Amino acid sequence: DVAEQLSPVLPDGPREESLQFLSELKDSSCSCAVDVSTVWWAAAGCRELRVVTASESAVSLWEPLAPDCWGRVHTWHLTEIPVIQIVPLPDTCNLVCVALGELEIGEIRLLLYSSETDSFKHSLVKTGNIKAVVGLKDRRLVSSSRTMQEQQLEMVSFSETGGSKDRQTLMPPEETVTAFAEVEGMREALVGTTAGNSVVVWNLKTGQLLRKMQVGYSYPASICHRAYSDSGLLFVVLSHPHAKESESCGSPAFRVVAFNPRTGRSAGVMFSCPPCPRRYLEGDVWDTAGAAVLTSGAVAVWDLLRGRCTAVLPPGPAGHWALARWA
């Protein structure tokens, strides 16, 4: 917000350095950061947004002490299996999940603070050959795991204190699920993308697989980030991290595709290209804004509904950016 006020976006395109570097979290250990996220944290009657950072063997919780200054509240040490990613549970307080594994996710753990014992803890949620995982509102976690014979999809609900409350099995599609995304405004709907480049829709309450819809050859190797239901259509934000780069216009970082769940037909609505011919590396979507790290080492931000790049943060003096996350 501060950067936007300082550097209004020009109508003819992004303005360089319209994102401003505000603060740095200095990790005194030499281990490399693998992921970053945020979590709502309640302490002493006050609920505030805190930052979570993960290295291969530890996950740290940081609180704002003063402008530009962050202090480490706690570190969970997870030394047996490397941490691969943080799995935030949106709008949830005092709970965050992490995925651990070697090349693929082998287990998911819940990190929490227990007021009963006045201590920070972690507990095992799930093990297996986990292909995709997402945290949903209302303390829910959905994951897909694969054995040689079959694919299993499961939603776990947590209690406020982090106990496992309920487990719901979801009907798996034939193809491996590569990513999940919540449908904004529809608590019981979930979308996913598959290795066969389809978008699938589930009813989370019943576990039913409602529809499988082909994304099409124009949108290869799609990964879903977010979905919105509006006017009888399902708008899905996709990225294509493994797509071959087109020489003419580069590769779009994000696309918005409209699906009619009744007929399974789809139409491209908007695409968001990097400001220069660079490729998308990884990114994050929040509401209708996308942010991604590009091969140039810059971070770009888009208004996904207008397909317009609204801000660029060039690589810093210390090197290329590696991750971009909304909070």
Partner 1 sequence: CSESDLGPISLNWFEELSAEAPP
**Which residues of the chain form contacts with partner 1 (CB under 8 A)?**
171, 186, 188-189, 201, 203, 206, 208-211, 229, 231-234, 258-263, 265-267, 269
Provide the 3-class DSSP secondary structure of residue 153. strand
Instruction: List Cβ neighbours of 83 (8 Å cut-off, separation of 6 or more).
Output: 34, 35, 54, 55, 56, 57, 58, 59, 98, 99, 100
From the CB of 195, what's the least distance to partner 1, in Å? Answer: 22
Encode 144-167: b = buried (16+ Cβ within 10 Å), e = exposed. Answer: bbbeeeebbbbbbbbeeebeeeee
The helix/strand count (H/E) of the chain reads as 1, 23
Distance (Å) of CA 150 to CA 17, 144, 145, 174, 275: 48, 11, 9, 9, 42
Residue placing its CB nearer to partner 1 in the complex, 125 or 170: 170
Bridge partners of 156, per DSSP, are 141, 167
Instruction: List Cβ neighbours of 97 (8 Å cut-off, separation of 6 or more).
Output: 86, 87, 88, 89, 108, 109, 110, 111, 125, 133, 135, 141
From the CB of 200, what's the least distance to partner 1, in Å? Answer: 12
Which amino acid belongs to residue 172?
Answer: P
**Separation of alpha carbons 158 and 155, rounded Å:** 10
From the CB of 267, what's the least distance to partner 1, in Å? Answer: 5
Residue placing its CB nearer to partner 1 in the complex, 114 or 208: 208
From the CB of 188, what's the least distance to partner 1, in Å? Answer: 8
Residue placing its CB nearer to partner 1 in the complex, 233 or 243: 233
From the CB of 209, what's the least distance to partner 1, in Å? Answer: 7
Residue placing its CB nearer to partner 1 in the complex, 227 or 273: 227
From the CB of 266, what's the least distance to partner 1, in Å? Answer: 7
Residue placing its CB nearer to partner 1 in the complex, 113 or 235: 235
Residue placing its CB nearer to partner 1 in the complex, 73 or 258: 258
From the CB of 100, what's the least distance to partner 1, in Å? Answer: 34
Cβ distance 164 to 148 under 8 Å?
no
Bridge partners of 126, per DSSP, are 108
Residue placing its CB nearer to partner 1 in the complex, 81 or 269: 269
